[in-house]
């Protein structure tokens, strides 16, 4: 079985969020299970030089973008045993960022079409094209409209994975002919609420739709979570499945991690204390061994639940002996809130505004607790990484958080249900009280270490779906 994994970002070539982690680790896990899997992604200007040096130019082709014919250079790179195709077009991808340009529809129409067009040129004919999020949602649409009856393509099946339903790729109707190159007869595939909605097109046209946790697969059928797409998903519920993401346990490994000051493992966790002291220092906090340190590594945006944190943090800081280490960037209101908390409580709150993968690992390693009170969380990887580093998560029971963190005698963290400040406050209180009881704390931390969120089980579930789809269509 051969899978072409189409994605707009994959670590280590390009990363802005969890999608890149998944694309950087699931293909390797599939290959370990003897499934041929190669990745195709855009060649952005920011792909690091050392990775570019190992890229091999294969050929160039022309890709139709409506009436345009656009250059597409195909480069091949190998990383971690996986072959990556990086598609080059400087007009579309030589820019400072990956997304949020006026012509995103055109850029990703080009990419989605190129995913199909490169197939005769790469010596790899997939049985499955596995697409991810709105940026590649047009691949199943183009496949079903233009390629499904074409020689060399008719056997191919498409899978579409929703990593976050909030970002759907919504554009005006006017792009249908001129940018997407589709006819009026195709409009109904993409139309939603009077606009063109790429994610809706992917859901409609893919043979199977997956999302990144079983709980999120149920949640997105509910208007509170669906960002408007619940009715479409309800009609298609038979082809939707939730598979929990895994993490790359080689990259995130406290025993070998080169980014943390002192390595440790679940069998000898003593050095975790050195990481705590170093993190306190790096964050400008007093080095206090016995003060519980809560870490946050997150995009600072609404759905991560920071409104709840805003409502309670001042009170917690006034009443408790606790420290907070915050790493993230995003909306101004949350960035300025954490900066203000730091100014008011410099002994208790350390803040680094920005995206810094190596500092992120020091926060995972150096914190005692890890806070993720998300309003919605399709899967969430940070809680799994925290567990891997023996750092106990406090989460709200939503999406993948609900599927990976459990509270109780056999549990690995602290969980609250309702999206309200009181419940968050109580969860933090339970965590801080348990922290005071050294023996119970050590046991809980051990269970955190023991939680296994490597890819094994989930990769097998994907393989099962690939097989099902191949058999069924
Ligand atoms: C998105 C989701 C996050 C998920 C990640 C990888 O970033 O918001 O919850 O873990 O995709 O699937």
126-161 residue pLDDT tens: 999 999 999 999 999 999 999 999 999 999 999 999
Judged against a pLDDT cut of 90, whether residue 184 lies above it is answered with: yes
Distance 20 CA to ligand 1 centre (A): 9
* Residue 191 CB contacts under 8 Å (≥ 6 apart), including other chains: 173, 197, 200
Ligand 1 center–CA 400 separation, angstroms: 9
Protein residue whose Cα sits closest to atom 7 of ligand 1: 18
Question: Mean per-residue pLDDT for 12-41?
Answer: 96
Please name the residue that has the structure tokens 């705590």: 276
Report residue 134 as tokens.
Answer: 């709105």
Q: How far apart are CA 276 and CA 40, in angstroms?
A: 39
Overall average pLDDT of the 298-326 stretch: 97
Contacts of 24 by beta carbon, 8 Å cutoff, 6+ apart: 10, 11, 12, 15, 80, 248, 251
Q: What pTM was computed for the model? A: 0.95
Question: What is the DSSP pairing of strand 191-192 with strand 195-197?
Answer: antiparallel
* Residue 410 structure tokens: 């056999």
Average pLDDT of the residues of the chain: 97
How many CB atoms are located within 10 Å of the residue 200 CB? Answer: 25
Q: Which atom of ligand 1 is nearest to the CA of 374?
A: 9
Q: Residue 355: what pLDDT?
A: 86
Do the Cβ atoms of 198 and 206 come closer than 8 Å? no
In sequence order, the 6+-apart residues with CB closer than 8 A to the CB of 190 are 141, 176, 180, 182, 196, 197, 198, 200, 201, 204
What are the phi and psi torsion angles at 61 (to 5°)? -135, 175
Dmax over CA atoms of the chain, in Å, equals 69
Ligand 1 centroid to Cα of residue 380, in Å, is 5
- Give pLDDT, residue 453: 96
* Strands 349-353, 323-330: pairing kind: parallel
Spatial distance between the Cα atoms of 203 and 123, rounded to a whole number of angstroms: 28
Residue 58 contacts residue 122 (beta carbons within 8 Å):
yes
Reduced to 3 states, what is the DSSP secondary structure of residue 175?
A: helix
Mean pLDDT, range 320-345, rounded to an integer = 98
Question: Region 99-113: what's the mean pLDDT?
Answer: 98
Atom of ligand 1 nearest to the CA of 17: 7
Q: How far is the CA of 381 from the centre of ligand 1 (A)?
A: 7
Per residue in 65-75, pLDDT (tens digit) is 999 999 999 99
Closest by CA to 198, choosing from 190, 188, 208, is: 190
d(CA 418, CA 398): 10
Ligand 1 site: residues with CB under 6 angstroms? 17-19, 22, 163-164, 212, 245, 377-381
Cβ pair 11, 134 in contact under 8 A: no
Sort residue 45 into left (φ over 0), alpha (ψ -120 to 50) or beta: alpha
pLDDT at position 42 is 98
Q: In whole angstroms, give the CA distance from residue 87 to residue 326.
A: 36
Which of 18, 99, 211, 299, when mutated, tests ligand 1's pocket best, judged by the most ligand atoms within 8 Å of its CB?
A: 18
Domains of the chain: 2-246+456-472 (3.40.50.2000), 269-452 (3.40.50.2000)
**Cα 21 to middle of ligand 1, angstroms:** 9
- Give residue 143's pLDDT: 98
Report the pLDDT value the prediction gives residue 323, as an integer from 0 to 100.
98
Q: Is omega for the bond preceding 12 within 30 degrees of 0, making it cis?
A: yes
């Amino acid at each position: 079985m051969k899978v072409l994994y189409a994605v707009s970002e994959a670590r280590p070539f390009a990363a802005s969020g969890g999608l890149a982690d998944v694309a950087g680790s699931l293909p390797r896990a599939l290959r370990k299970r003897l499934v041929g899997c190669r990745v195709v992604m855009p060649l952005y200007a920011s792909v690091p030089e050392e990775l570019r040096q190992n890229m091999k130019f294969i050929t160039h082709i022309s890709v139709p973008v409506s009436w345009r014919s656009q250059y597409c250079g195909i480069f091949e790179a190998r990383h971690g045993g996986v072959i990556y195709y990086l598609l080059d077009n400087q007009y579309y991808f030589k820019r400072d960022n990956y997304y949020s340009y006026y012509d995103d529809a055109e850029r990703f129409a080009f990419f989605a079409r190129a995913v199909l067009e490169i197939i005769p040129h790469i010596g790899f004919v997939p049985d499955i094209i596995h697409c991810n999020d709105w940026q590649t949602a047009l691949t199943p649409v183009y496949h079903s409209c233009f390629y499904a009856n074409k020689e060399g393509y008719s056997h191919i099946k498409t899978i579409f994975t929703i990593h976050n339903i909030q970002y759907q790729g919504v554009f005006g109707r006017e792009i249908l002919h001129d940018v997407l190159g589709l006819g009026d007869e195709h409009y109904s595939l993409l139309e939603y609420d009077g606009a063109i909605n790429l994610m809706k097109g992917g859901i409609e046209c893919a043979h199977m739709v997956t999302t990144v946790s079983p709980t999120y697969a149920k949640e997105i059928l509910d208007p509170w979570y669906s960002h408007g797409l619940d009715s479409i998903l309800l009609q298609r519920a038979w082809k939707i499945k939730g598979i929990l993401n895994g993490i790359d346990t080689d990259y995130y490994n406290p025993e070998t991690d080169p980014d943390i000051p002192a390595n440790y493992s679940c069998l000898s966790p003593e050095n975790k204390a050195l990481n705590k002291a170093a993190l306190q220092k790096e964050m400008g906090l007093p080095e206090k061994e016995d003060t519980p340190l809560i870490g946050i590594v997150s995009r600072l945006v609404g759905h991560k639940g920071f409104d709840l944190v805003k409502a309670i943090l001042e009170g917690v800081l006034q009443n408790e002996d606790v420290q907070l280490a915050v790493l993230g960037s995003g909306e101004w209101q949350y960035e300025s809130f954490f900066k203000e908390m730091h100014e008011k409580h410099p002994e208790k709150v350390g803040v680094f505004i920005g995206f810094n993968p190596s500092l992120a690992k020091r926060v995972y390693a150096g914190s005692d607790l890890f806070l993720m009170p998300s309003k919605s969380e399709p899967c969430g990887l940070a809680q799994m990484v925290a567990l891997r580093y023996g750092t106990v998560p406090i989460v709200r029971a939503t999406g993948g958080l609900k599927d990976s963190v459990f509270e109780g005698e056999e549990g690995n963290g602290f969980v609250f249900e309702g999206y309200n400040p009181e419940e968050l406050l109580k969860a933090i209180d339970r965590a801080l009280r348990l922290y005071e009881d050294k023996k119970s704390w050590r046991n809980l931390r051990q269970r955190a270490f023991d939680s296994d969120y490597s890819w094994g089980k989930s990769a097998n579930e994907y393989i099962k779906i690939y097989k099902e789809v191949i058999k069924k269509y």
